[in-house]
Amino acid sequence: MGAAFFYHLTQSPLESTLPLLLQKARGAGWNIAVKAQDAARLDWLDQRLWQGQPDGFLPHGVAGGEHDALQPILLTLDDALPNAAQCIMSIDGAQVSAETVQAAERVCILFDGYDDSAVAHARLQWKALTEAGCAAQYWSEESGNWEKKAEKSA
């Protein structure tokens, strides 16, 4: 059974933080699904990942292609995980169910700390997931370094 890790972004934008988390997840040997709510946002993210550092290349694809099952990182709008992702990363408030958290190794929920609606949505997600019995951790970068600020056991 996995856990949900909430990342409260206040110092680094998504386009900086997400590649670091993707590299760590790939280092753990996991396939990853990055779940969003908007196709234009996925296209933007796809471009950002291709423009990343040469030494930090992150092989990925956008869902809907004929090779989705082979993608180590799949950018998607759907709950389906054709690449058998063990790690799901939710951005921009994409919904994650308790069943998804329990089936995955890890779910990362990244949210913008300067967007009041994103913070409110993350709080609702925390409450729903922990009340459903999911383990969760809350990470903040407010001090300039990532620090675990809260943890709830399953």
Query: Which CATH number covers residue 35?
Result: 3.40.50.10110
Q: What is the arithmetic mean of pLDDT over 79-96? A: 95
pLDDT at 112: 96
Q: What are phi and psi of 103, to 5 degrees?
A: -85, -25
Could you tell me the pTM of the whole model?
Answer: 0.94
Burial class of 44 by CB neighbour count within 10 A (0 to 12, 13 to 18, 19+): middle
DSSP three-state, residue 101: helix
Average of per-residue pLDDT values in the chain:
94
Segment (H or E) for 109: strand 106-112
Return the closest-CA partner of residue 46 out of 66, 31, 64, 60.
60
Nearest to 102 by CA among 137, 154, 150, 148: 154
The total number of structural domains in the chain stands at 1
For residue range 26-66, list pLDDT tens digits in order.
Answer: 999 999 999 999 999 999 999 888 887 666 788 899 999 89
Domain span holding position 80: 3-152
What is the tally of helices (H) and strands (E) in the chain?
A: 4, 8
Q: What is the pLDDT of residue 48?
A: 87
109 confidence band (pLDDT: 50, 70, 90): very high
- Predicted local distance difference test score (pLDDT) of residue 55: 66
pLDDT for residue 107 is more than 80 = yes
Beta strand ranges found along 10-94 (DSSP E): 32-35, 61-62, 73-76, 87-90
Burial of 100 per CB tally in 10 Å (0-12, 13-18, 19+): buried
